[in-house]
Amino acid sequence: MIKFLLFVILIIPLLNVNGQGIGELAPAKPPDIFPNNAIGVDIIFSESGFGLGAFYRRQFSQELTGFTDFSISEAKDPQEFTYVDYFGNTYTAGKLNRAFLLPLNFGLQYRLFENDIYDNLRPYINIGIGPAIVLTTPYDREFFNSFHAAKAYPALGGYVGFGANFGLDKKNLVGINIRYYEIHMFNKGIEILQNRIENDLGGFFLTINIGTMY
pLDDT of amino acid 92: 82
pLDDT in tens, 29-83: 667 788 999 999 999 999 888 999 999 999 999 899 999 999 999 998 888 877 7
Please return the burial class of 94, using the count of CB atoms within 10 Å of its CB with bins 0-12, 13-18 and 19+: middle
- In the predicted model, is pLDDT for residue 11 greater than 70? no
* Higher-pLDDT residue of 122, 13: 122
pLDDT of amino acid 116: 75
Q: HEC profile for the chain?
A: CHHHHHHHHHHHHHHHCCCCCCCCCCCCCCCCCCCCEEEEEEEEEECCEEEEEEEEEEECCCCEEEEEEEEEEEECCCCCCEEECCCCCEEECCECEEEEEEEEEEEEEEECCCCCCCCCEEEEEEEEEEEEEEEEEECCCCCCHHHHHCEEEEEEEEEEEEEEEECCCCCEEEEEEEEEEEEEECCCCEECECCCEECEEEEEEEEEEEEEEC
- In the predicted model, is pLDDT for residue 188 greater than 50? yes
CA 201 remoteness from chain centre: 14
Q: List residues bridging with 94 in a β-sheet.
A: none
Closest CA to 80 of 206, 199, 198: 198
- In the predicted model, is pLDDT for residue 24 greater than 90? no
Strands 121-138 and 151-166: antiparallel
**Rounded distance between C-alpha atoms, residue 7 and residue 201, angstroms:** 25
pLDDT in tens, 86-137: 777 777 888 999 999 999 999 999 999 887 777 889 999 999 999 999 999 9
- In the predicted model, is pLDDT for residue 16 greater than 50? no
74 Cβ neighbours under 8 A, 6+ residues apart: 48, 49, 50, 51, 98, 99, 100, 101
Rounded average pLDDT over 17-22? 44
**Rounded distance between C-alpha atoms, residue 2 and residue 17, angstroms:** 24
Q: Please answer whether residues 181 and 202 qualify as being in contact, where contact means their C-beta atoms are separated by less than 8 angstroms.
A: yes
pLDDT in tens, 140-162: 999 999 999 999 999 999 999 99
pLDDT of amino acid 118: 79
- In the predicted model, is pLDDT for residue 7 greater than 60? no
Q: Please answer whether residues 57 and 67 qualify as being in contact, where contact means their C-beta atoms are separated by less than 8 angstroms.
A: yes
pLDDT of amino acid 15: 44
pTM beyond 0.85, yes or no: no
- In the predicted model, is pLDDT for residue 13 greater than 60? no
**Rounded distance between C-alpha atoms, residue 10 and residue 171, angstroms:** 25
pLDDT of amino acid 21: 43
